[in-house]
């Protein structure tokens, strides 16, 4: 995951090796390589340019401070901070205030929706002591209903399905009623997807959402599809105004474009990342941890943060002494 991007960013930082300080020239060279690395990772050029312009501005503002920090280390810290911001800044939480909690899962066919639904049920059961119900609302693919039933059996979570019913809105409403009757506090609704965005699918998912008023709508996207994933997310968000994004197949050969671009494009946070088929491979998305993983340089970031804190402390002390003399 992100191997190529990490290597390219590492190369951009090495351009500063041996330099005594950040200058307009070496900052420009480094920023140019960072932008190239992002575009190669399938990040939209406009986003990459805006991102690197911010890095350049911040780097130019630190030319004469933090003498104890090497230029390359300082640049890594600046890039890390901007990566965190690009991917959402704060860790986003899932809304579980409903009675029952109703979570609607949307996305294209093949994005990993059904597997994610199972993983989410398992995650909420294990980590939040919830009593979930999985509801099979993909009325077009019997295999999807069967898959959900198998997943439910594996994690000991009940599955509501009506194989003969071709009305997903009706199934969703009956699923929620079933949860209320049986004391289940969380309803996860797996919906149908198609190979590409089309009007019929969008109308169906919009109708389901309008009927059930979920307290959380999650859009599942295959992270390996890069910029296409971002465009699909925008189309879905324009239709159903989802609350958060789930990136699946993060263990694959992903270039990172989706993870880096999706928050900027749709304004919605990434809430979960999913890796592999095992049902315990679901993680909450932490922008800061992901940024450090991409850069592969957590220790350096910590070192620069300490140097920054010492510099700020010294500045405050100097300011205090100046004020006391006045």
| Predicted pLDDT at 162 | 92
The candidate with the shortest Cα–Cα distance to 91, out of 273, 231, 293, is 273
Cα separation, 244 vs 132, whole angstroms: 19
In the DSSP assignment, the letter for residue 224 is G
- Mean pLDDT per 10-residue interval, the chain, length 326 residues: 74 73 82 86 86 87 60 81 89 88 92 91 93 93 89 94 93 95 94 82 92 94 78 88 88 68 88 84 86 68 52 59 56
Helix (H, G, I), strand (E, B) or coil at 87: coil
Cα separation, 326 vs 323, whole angstroms: 5
| Predicted pLDDT at 65 | 54
Helix (H) or strand (E) holding 312: helix 298-325
Helix (H) or strand (E) holding 227: helix 227-240
Which domains are assigned to the chain? 3-86+296-325 (1.20.120.140), 101-285 (3.40.50.300)
Global model pTM greater than 0.85:
no
| Predicted pLDDT at 18 | 65
Q: For residues 120-156, b (16+ Cβ closer than 10 Å) or e, as one string?
A: bbbbbbeeeebbbbbbbbbbeeeebbebbbebbeebe
């Amino acid at each position: 995951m992100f191997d190529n991007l990490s290597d390219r960013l590492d190369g951009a930082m090495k351009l500063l090796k041996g330099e005594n300080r950040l200058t307009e020239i070496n900052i420009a060279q480094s920023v140019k390589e960072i932008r190239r690395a992002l575009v190669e990772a399938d990040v939209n050029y406009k986003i990459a340019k805006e991102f690197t312009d911010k890095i350049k501005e911040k780097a130019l503002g630190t030319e004469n401070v933090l003498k104890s920090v090497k230029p390359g280390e300082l640049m890594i810290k600046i890039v890390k901070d901007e990566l965190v911001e690009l991917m959402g800044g704060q860790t986003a939480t899932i809304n579980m205030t409903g009675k029952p909690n109703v979570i609607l899962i949307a996305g294209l066919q093949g994005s990993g929706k059904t597997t994610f639904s199972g993983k989410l049920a398992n995650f909420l059961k294990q980590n939040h002591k919830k009593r979930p119900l999985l509801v099979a609302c993909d009325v077009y693919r019997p295999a999807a209903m069967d898959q959900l039933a198998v997943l439910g059996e594996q994690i000991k979570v009940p599955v509501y399905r009506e194989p003969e019913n071709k009305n997903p809105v009706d199934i969703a409403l009956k699923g929620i009623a079933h949860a209320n009757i049986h004391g289940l506090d969380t309803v996860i609704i797996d919906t149908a997807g198609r190979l590409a965005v089309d009007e019929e699918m969008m109308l169906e998912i919009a109708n389901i959402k309008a009927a059930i008023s979920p307290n959380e709508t999650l859009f599942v996207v295959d992270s390996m599809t890069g910029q296409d994933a971002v465009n699909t997310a925008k189309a879905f968000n324009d239709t159903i105004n989802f609350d958060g994004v789930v990136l699946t197949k993060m263990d694959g050969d992903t270039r990172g474009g989706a993870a880096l671009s999706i928050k900027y494009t749709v304004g919605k946070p990434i809430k979960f990342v999913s890796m592999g088929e095992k049902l315990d491979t679901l993680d909450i998305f932490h922008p800061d941890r992901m940024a450090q993983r991409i850069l592969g340089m957590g220790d350096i970031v910590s070192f620069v943060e300490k140097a920054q804190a010492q510099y700020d402390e010294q500045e405050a002390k100097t300011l205090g002494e100046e004020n006391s003399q006045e």
